[in-house]
A and B are shown apart, each in its own frame.
Chain A
């Protein structure tokens, strides 16, 4: 158990809908990362937050957004969902952004029908 928690574990929704994925980092970790894992794209970095502030953006669609709250938990919002958004979404955390060790949560499996 990495200490990173994610909810929900599974999510099934229809095209065009909006969902919110939640992540709580390990105790003491200030930096949160979101990754998407799909069969065709592999593991891709989406976005990073550090102590409430957006730090870096990767291959994140404009329909997706995220935030980190004062208690350091983070939420990833996915809107206008398409079939191709079906994937595993992982959250990872690290002590601070300039430390490479990242610990991943169990993921949320999103299925868009």
Chain B
């Protein structure tokens, strides 16, 4: 059962543009929502995360928007750069139950120069 659905599967953006990746979850018990960035041949790197008590979190060019009622959250990358080209994974976990991460399918982002 896929509990976290991610879209789009791939995304091409021009340098300086905004990249938007969306995720939807089913389990209302999830209470921690991170985004990971993965470059080829590397492990996923924690990028930014949010908990359900806030609707938005911003760190530099990266912003998470969270809609608890719709059970959706999204990653916005402002002023996208070629160096942002990577695969992005959303995930969700229940911190009170050990925090195992359930991942979305991933989005391959390409930022053209």
Contacts and interface: CB of A to CB of B under 8 A. Distances in A.
Interface of A: 2, 4, 31, 33, 35, 42-45, 48, 50, 55-56, 58, 90, 92, 94, 97-107
Tell me the interface secondary structure of chain A in the complex: strand
B100 interface: yes
Contacts of A94: 99
A58 B100 contact: yes
Contacts of A45: 100-102
Nearest to A104: B43
B32 interface: yes
Given A2-B43, A43-B89, A103-B46, A98 B99 contact: yes
A53 B31 CA distance: 24
A101 B33 CA distance: 10
Contacts of A103: 46
Contacts of B45: 2, 104
A2 B42 CA distance: 11
A51 B43 CA distance: 23
A98 B34 CA distance: 14
A40 B106 CA distance: 12
Contacts of A97: 98-99
B56 interface: no
Given A2-B43, A105-B43, A48 B105 contact: no
Interface in B11-62: 31-32, 34, 36, 42-46, 49, 51
Contact of B44 (A43, A48, A100): A43
Given A31-B99, A43-B44, A98-B95, 9 more contacts: A50-B98, A56-B97, A97-B99, A98-B96, A100-B34, A100-B49, A100-B99, A102-B34, A104-B43
A90 B101 contact: no
